């Protein structure tokens, strides 16, 4: 299996790379993806299903990916283009980085204590959200070995 760097990116030995492509292809066959966008070395795709955070996370892990966590403007724009085509929101693993963050004004805001997840919409802005809300399932894949 791959190793995770401090930035969260996965690195895979060459022999794991072909296995990872197969696993992703299997996901795409079982859950036909209809929207793709690439940003940097990342691929964002959806199976057009919706679910809460737990369902989205499980789906992405089973596919060999994870919930999107854009760390560059180009990655955020790539994710945004997937959401624009569907006019939907998706969960993200938001962060506060000196390099890149795209929180909407006043966010993250969990003043009522019910918003422990992050979401982004077709405008690319990040907001705090309830983990029980249903959003479009979008997964992030990194194919750089």
Query: Range of 87's domain?
Result: 10-142
Kindly state the percentage of the chain with pLDDT values over 90. Answer: 52
List C-alpha distances in Å: 108 to 12, 117, 125, 128.
33, 10, 11, 5
pLDDT at 36: 53
Find residue 27's DSSP bridge partners.
none
Assess whether pLDDT exceeds 50 at residue 144.
Answer: yes
Segment 8-34 mean pLDDT: 46
Q: Is residue 2 part of a domain?
A: no
Q: Is residue 66 part of a domain?
A: yes
Confidence of residue 130 (pLDDT cuts 50, 70, 90): very high
Q: And the tokens for 79?
A: 């994710």
Region of poorest pLDDT, from 26-35, 37-46, 88-97: 26-35
Residue tagged 């299996």 (tokens): 1
Over the chain, what is the mean pLDDT? Answer: 79
pLDDT at 94: 78
Contact by Cβ (8 Å): 121, 138: no
Listed residue (44, 118, 104, 107) closest to 74, CA to CA: 44
Contact by Cβ (8 Å): 45, 136: no
Assess whether pLDDT exceeds 60 at residue 31.
Answer: no
Assess whether pLDDT exceeds 50 at residue 33.
Answer: no
Model pTM score: 0.75
Number of domain units in the chain: 1
Q: Is residue 20 part of a domain?
A: yes
Q: Is residue 137 part of a domain?
A: yes
Burial class (CB in 10 A: 0-12, 13-18, 19+), 126: buried
Segment 99-110 mean pLDDT: 91
The domain that holds 126 is classified in CATH as 3.10.100.10
Confidence of residue 12 (pLDDT cuts 50, 70, 90): very low
Q: Is residue 3 part of a domain?
A: no
pLDDT in tens, 43-73: 899 989 999 999 999 999 999 999 999 988 8
Q: Is residue 132 part of a domain?
A: yes
Listed residue (128, 45, 30) closest to 85, CA to CA: 45
Q: Is residue 1 part of a domain?
A: no
Q: Is residue 134 part of a domain?
A: yes
């Amino acid at each position: 299996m791959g190793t995770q760097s401090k930035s969260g990116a996965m690195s895979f030995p060459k022999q794991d790379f072909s296995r990872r492509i197969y696993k992703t292809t299997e996901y795409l066959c079982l859950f036909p993806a209809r929207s793709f966008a690439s940003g940097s070395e990342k691929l964002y795709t959806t199976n057009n299903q919706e679910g809460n955070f737990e369902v989205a996370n499980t789906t992405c892990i089973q596919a060999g990916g994870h919930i999107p966590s854009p760390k560059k403007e180009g990655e955020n724009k790539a994710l945004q283009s997937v959401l624009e085509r569907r006019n939907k929101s998706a969960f993200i693993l938001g962060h506060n980085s000196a390099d890149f963050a795209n929180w909407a004004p006043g966010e993250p805001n969990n003043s009522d204590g019910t918003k422990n997840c992050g979401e982004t919409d077709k405008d690319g802005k990040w907001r705090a959200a309830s983990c029980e809300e249903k959003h479009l399932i979008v997964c992030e894949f990194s194919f750089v070995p």
